Structure 1
Amino acid sequence: MPRHDDDPAEGWTELTELDAARCVAVPGPDDDKYSRGVLGMLTGSPQYPGAAVLGVEAATRTGVGMVRYLAEDRPTDFVLRARPEVVTSDGRVQAWLAGSGTDPGSRSAEASARLGEAVASGLTLVLDAGALDRVDDVRGPCVLTPHAGELQRLIEAHGETVDRATISADPRRWALTAARLTGCTVLLKGFVTHICSAEGERLTVTSTTSWTATAGAGDVLAGAIGALLATNAQRIADDPGSLVPLAATGALLHARAAARASGGGPIVALDIAEALPAVVAELSSRRPG
């Protein structure tokens, strides 16, 4: 896909349903929980255990074969009460999701060590919220999932000055700036979500309801993206550029699940996660033969 260095407003296209359908990995009769993808999750904290639950709910409902959840006792207890099938011991994973519901200022030594191992592993990563500060340590393909305020801090940590209002007024320019500063795929959340890479790939996903603006919705989005990356591990290994459509597909699933759950009325984040299987089924039915 060509770069458009002269004009950050050029080259953006809305993710199509057909392209999103191609990103949904449907298991076959010979698949098992490992071949379907294992997502390692370093999310939640004693202060914010609910974020871990929401991300795990989203990942399992998007279609990952296994979630391997590693965190402190309190969020682990919350996760196991909600999803007893989650594995809480070390082992192989195909991708990592880190940062949802965490704060780098209160990160424990144990959590820091786990995060350091994940970002240095070379495996595909989703860095959200409280893990965005570790972007410079990443050694593999990586998707960053900031909102405008988090993007501001990320950009300023790399030597450029910008305020949140400026980012919100021109999200295309600043999402691209962050991608080029970090070398990562950036998914800048908003009513219109912008997904781009430093190499020039640019996609948008437009929401259909503003009721998605609710606490925990971002944790659900991160879980859905993590599941898509784990289930498409070989595709990413063959083509790192596939991170952009895969992350965008997570945003599309999230937007459609929110609309389905809302029906025009208010929702909470767990409603979005619970609507994901029906949306995945609908989208996967449109996969080309």
Structure 2
Amino acid sequence: MTAREFSGHDVARALRKPTADDDKYSRGVVGLRTGSARYPGAAVLGVEAAWRTGTGMVRYLGPTRAQDFVLQRRPETVTADGRVQAWVMGSGTDAAQRDAAETAALRGILRGEVPVVVDAGALDLVPGATAPVIATPHARELDRLRASLGLGEAEAGDEDARERAARETAEAFGGVVLSKGAVTIVAAASGWTRRVSAGTPWLATAGTGDVLGGVLGAITAGAVAAGRTGIDDLAACAAAAAWVHGRAGVAASLSRGADGGPIAALDVAEALPPVIAELLADSIA
């Protein structure tokens, strides 16, 4: 059965608009354990995106070089450990270069109760996780994740085949899969499945996945702060993040010309606030 398309109205319901009674903690706190000495930019992009999506606080824990770049760009970022309502890990990292101490720290997060967005260099740690997990692989990463879960290679084919692979993978570890592509597929172990087609081919550029991770972390932290913690709630957060990320990519591209033009990842992050504002005004169909 083909999943239905996730719409702007669906996204608006997944977001949390701040009220006069909110403070930075009640709006949602997202922690990022991303970036590396080799790829510090991934940390900057994810942190920037989390702030631009409207979270109450961003905590960043990572290598000194990446932390320095983060604070240069976003000095409001907190670089001390503490309570968070969602984690993002793995963006800009390589499992082959991860040391034992970092592996232990990541496994500790994945054994907790807080939802974790797992990307790139941390996807190998998904098997055995007990925390609620939203895995965000591209096609090659999905095949590696499936292999680590004892599943066969994903069936090649159309979007229906991708849906089946995403659902099967989500069921295997009991969480949510956001399968990146021109059409993004989001599937939960519960069977909840949606397609997201809000983007532009100009998003196929380095660093945009790091931006998506930050968006998803922020939206998830906001949902948890509002008490929405079920697996279908987390799947809706993933679909909402993909939609917002795609629409921000379109907005950034159209700012280059009527027919769109080249964009860089930071352009997408900077285009997020107007997209969020329009959604919360309930003016997007």
TM-score under structure 2 length normalisation: 0.93
Match of 1:147 in 2: 138
Q: Partner of 1:67: helix, strand, or coil?
A: strand
Q: Of the candidates 73, 80, 83, which is equivalent to residue 82 of structure 1?
A: 73
Q: Of the candidates 226, 232, 247, which is equivalent to residue 241 of structure 1?
A: 232
Match of 1:156 in 2: 147
Q: Partner of 1:259: helix, strand, or coil?
A: helix
Q: Tell me by how many angstroms 1:204 deviates.
A: 0.7
Tell me, yes or no, if the aligned pair for 1:44 and 1:101 is still in contact at 8 Å. yes
Identity of aligned residues (%): 49
Match of 1:202 in 2: 193
Structure 1 residues 1-289: aligned runs within 5 Å: 10-162=1-153, 170-235=161-226, 237-263=228-254, 264-286=260-282
CA distance in 2, matches of 1:164, 1:200: 18
User: 1:145/1:155 Cα in 2 relative to 1: closer, same or farther (>3 Å)?
Assistant: same
AA at the equivalent of 2:245: H
Tell me, yes or no, if the aligned pair for 2:23 and 2:56 is still in contact at 8 Å. yes
User: 1:227/1:160 Cα in 2 relative to 1: closer, same or farther (>3 Å)?
Assistant: same
User: 1:132/1:208 Cα in 2 relative to 1: closer, same or farther (>3 Å)?
Assistant: closer
User: 1:287/1:27 Cα in 2 relative to 1: closer, same or farther (>3 Å)?
Assistant: farther
Q: Tell me by how many angstroms 1:113 deviates.
A: 2.8
CA distance in 2, matches of 1:218, 1:254: 9
RMSD in angstroms over aligned alpha carbons? 1.9
Tell me, yes or no, if the aligned pair for 1:70 and 1:88 is still in contact at 8 Å. yes
Tell me, yes or no, if the aligned pair for 1:104 and 1:133 is still in contact at 8 Å. yes
Deviation string 1:237-284 (CA, Å, 9 cap, x unpaired) is 553321111110000000000000001101000000000001000101
Tell me, yes or no, if the aligned pair for 1:71 and 1:111 is still in contact at 8 Å. no
Q: Give the gaps of 5 or more residues in structure 1.
A: 1-9
Q: Tell me by how many angstroms 1:131 deviates.
A: 0.9
Q: Tell me by how many angstroms 1:219 deviates.
A: 0.5
Q: Tell me by how many angstroms 1:158 deviates.
A: 1.7
Q: Tell me by how many angstroms 1:109 deviates.
A: 3.3
AA at the equivalent of 2:20: P
CA distance in 2, matches of 1:205, 1:121: 29
Match of 2:257 in 1: none
AA at the equivalent of 1:283: L
Q: Partner of 1:186: helix, strand, or coil?
A: strand
Q: Partner of 2:191: helix, strand, or coil?
A: coil
User: 1:238/1:113 Cα in 2 relative to 1: closer, same or farther (>3 Å)?
Assistant: closer
Tell me, yes or no, if the aligned pair for 1:22 and 1:287 is still in contact at 8 Å. no
Q: Partner of 1:136: helix, strand, or coil?
A: coil
CA distance in 2, matches of 1:116, 1:200: 26
Q: Tell me by how many angstroms 1:156 deviates.
A: 1.1
Using the TM superposition, name which of 165-174 and 208-217 deviates more: 165-174
CA distance in 2, matches of 1:125, 1:218: 16
Q: Tell me by how many angstroms 1:42 deviates.
A: 0.5
User: 1:234/1:83 Cα in 2 relative to 1: closer, same or farther (>3 Å)?
Assistant: closer
User: 1:205/1:132 Cα in 2 relative to 1: closer, same or farther (>3 Å)?
Assistant: same
- Counting matched residue pairs gives 279
CA distance in 2, matches of 1:167, 1:184: 23
Q: Tell me by how many angstroms 1:191 deviates.
A: 0.7
TM-score under structure 1 length normalisation: 0.92
Tell me, yes or no, if the aligned pair for 1:54 and 1:269 is still in contact at 8 Å. yes
Q: Tell me by how many angstroms 1:110 deviates.
A: 3.5
